[in-house]
Amino acid sequence: MTNRSPLLSLRGIQKSYGPIKVLHGVDLDIYPGEVVALLGENGAGKSTLSNIISGTVQPSAGEMTWLGKPYAPANPRAAMDEGVGMIHQELKLLPKLSIAENVFVGRYPMKSGRLDRRAMEERARAGLQRLGLDVSPDRLVEGLSTGRQQLIEIAKALTLNARLLILDEPTAALGGEETQLLFHQIERLKAEGVGIIYISHRLEEIRRITDRIVVMRDGAKVQEFDRGDVPIRTIVEAMVGRSLERMFPTLPTPTDEVTLEVRGLSAPSKAFRDINFSVRKGEVFGIAGLMGAGRTELVRAITGADPIASGEVLLHGKPVTPRSPIDAIRNGIVLVPEDRKLQGVVLDHSIAENIGYANLGEISRNGWISSRRIREFAEDYIKRFGVKGRGGQNAGELSGGNQQKVVLAKWLARKPQVVVLDEPTRGIDVGARSSIYDLIVGLAREGVTVIVVSSDLEEVLGVSSRIMVMAQGKQAGILNREDANDVSVMELATL
């Protein structure tokens, strides 16, 4: 590989925003037919670097060489024309347009001044086939699974003759099967000589598909591994710059007292059916399963966010089946939802207000309330949970980990009996995750009943006393901590 010339070379790339330097002279070579993992915590400079390569951002200093020639794309389109394509984390497809239209949007093939629909669909079909995607190009994007949409984004880049692809967290929203499909396609692209920069927080998959690993920290390249198969601990240590004793805190022994019981619970949409389990005081109960197994729907139903068709929820033996979030909250059952930015916090409101919104009843006296009182109330919890921010700061300015702490703080202020966390560390960087785990286990230690839903297998295994595995809306089994490992969980999940 090293005797071939690189597709892209970066030398001394720097980027500053005003006085703040976010990249300190990065060197990087990408060769044809290799997958290079770009790793680092949030804020390490991965996004800035990939934005520079894809022409979204211009470097302050340094040089780039593309196929032996100087390369300085002024915008994403220029980069695209050279053959550099970036697939963003948030998909940028237009749902109401067909796949073919999406692939060619902005550069439709024309024939005598009119759109050449036939050429467009044929070329789109060729792109889809290259990825082994069996969908018609005249189908609307709307309704396609996230995984499929991701592949269409890739097809789009390929149809534009991309020779270097940057994939930013491509599997963040994918289920197991879709991830496999994506990896399979990545292998094919490699064989065709396409270079790939792969950004992900999921270290397990990095080991599987990458040929080289580049670790960034604080805007600089700190370590480079010449193979993908590096122990996760080594990678994590390079990322956080300190050695990790252990990621997960020790779990407390749960009491024998059953707090929450779920009996024969089913959703009107059949997203989950006939679920039965009980959780004890001070226990962390994990729920694992593949994308679409009905985990999120189940916990949303338990916390009143989604409707329940039949079955009941009992708290200390008393039926409390919620019909709205208000019902559940009154009974001390609270949800830390899956999508922080859309369901957890109001991004352009302050931290204090966000904490206040779940506690207005307690903060107000006879219905009267003042901003000062909200701030005082919140300040206390901001300190207690170690949120790195001031009460008056907007929640949108915080990192994912700190936003999650705000969501937790707003609930814990109510002293709940049951805390349900759906994907508590999604999109949160590795260093910040352990503080979330500490909070979760700390809750259990205080006698709170905790339910954790996670797609991150290591995470569910690490924090749960027992794990319920769901498959296609049904409960496939409940494993004790001793019996649970990635194999036994995956076996049940793929039932």
Partner 1 sequence: MVADVKERQGFAGIVLPSLRGATGPLIGLIVLCLFLTFATDKFLSVRNFLNVLDQITVLGVMAVGMTLVILIGGIDLAVGSVMALAMMVLGYLNVVAGVPMGIAIPLALLVASLNGLIAGILITRFNVPAFIATLAMMSITRGLANMITDGQQIIGFPAWFNMMAIVRFGGFLTLTVAVMVVVFIVGLLYQRYRHGGRVLYAIGGNAEVARLAGINVQRATVLVYVVCSFLAGLSGMVLAARLDSVQPSSGVSYELDAIAAVVIGGTSLSGGTGGIGGTIIGVLIIGVLRNGLNLLSVSPFMQQVIIGAVIVLAVTAETYRKRK
Chain positions contacting partner 1, by CB under 8 A: 303, 305, 324-326, 329-330, 335, 337, 342-349, 353, 356-358, 360-361, 364, 367-371, 374, 410
Inter-axis angle of helices 176-191 and 146-159, to 10 degrees? 20
Nearer CB in complex with partner 1: 96/242: 96
Are the beta carbons of 441 and 274 closer than 8 angstroms?
Answer: no
Tokens at 348, concatenated: 């352009």
Nearer CB in complex with partner 1: 255/370: 370
- Minimum Å gap between C-beta 143 and partner 1 is 20
Nearer CB in complex with partner 1: 356/389: 356
- Minimum Å gap between C-beta 437 and partner 1 is 23
Amino acid at residue number 370: S
Query: How deeply is 113 buried, as exposed, middle or buried, from its count of CB atoms within 10 A (0-12, 13-18, 19+)?
Result: exposed
- The dihedral built from the CA positions of residue 117, 119, 124 and 125, taken in this order, carries a sign that is positive
- Minimum Å gap between C-beta 88 and partner 1 is 22
Side-chain-facing half-sphere of 220: CA atoms under 13 Å: 9
Cα dihedral angle (303, 304, 307, 310), rounded to 10 degrees? 70
Are the beta carbons of 98 and 139 closer than 8 angstroms?
Answer: yes
Nearer CB in complex with partner 1: 136/371: 371
- Minimum Å gap between C-beta 341 and partner 1 is 9
- Minimum Å gap between C-beta 33 and partner 1 is 43
**d(Cα 59, Cα 79) in Å, to the nearest integer?**
14
Nearer CB in complex with partner 1: 179/303: 303
**d(Cα 203, Cα 210) in Å, to the nearest integer?**
10
- Minimum Å gap between C-beta 272 and partner 1 is 19
Nearer CB in complex with partner 1: 343/435: 343
**d(Cα 183, Cα 187) in Å, to the nearest integer?**
6
- Minimum Å gap between C-beta 350 and partner 1 is 10
Distances (CA, A) of 34 to 105, 188, 338: 29, 11, 34
**d(Cα 286, Cα 290) in Å, to the nearest integer?**
13
Write phi, then psi, for 210 (nearest 5 degrees).
-100, 155
- Minimum Å gap between C-beta 344 and partner 1 is 7
Nearer CB in complex with partner 1: 256/348: 348
**d(Cα 434, Cα 16) in Å, to the nearest integer?**
30
- Minimum Å gap between C-beta 464 and partner 1 is 23
Nearer CB in complex with partner 1: 172/369: 369
Tokens at 414, concatenated: 């109510």
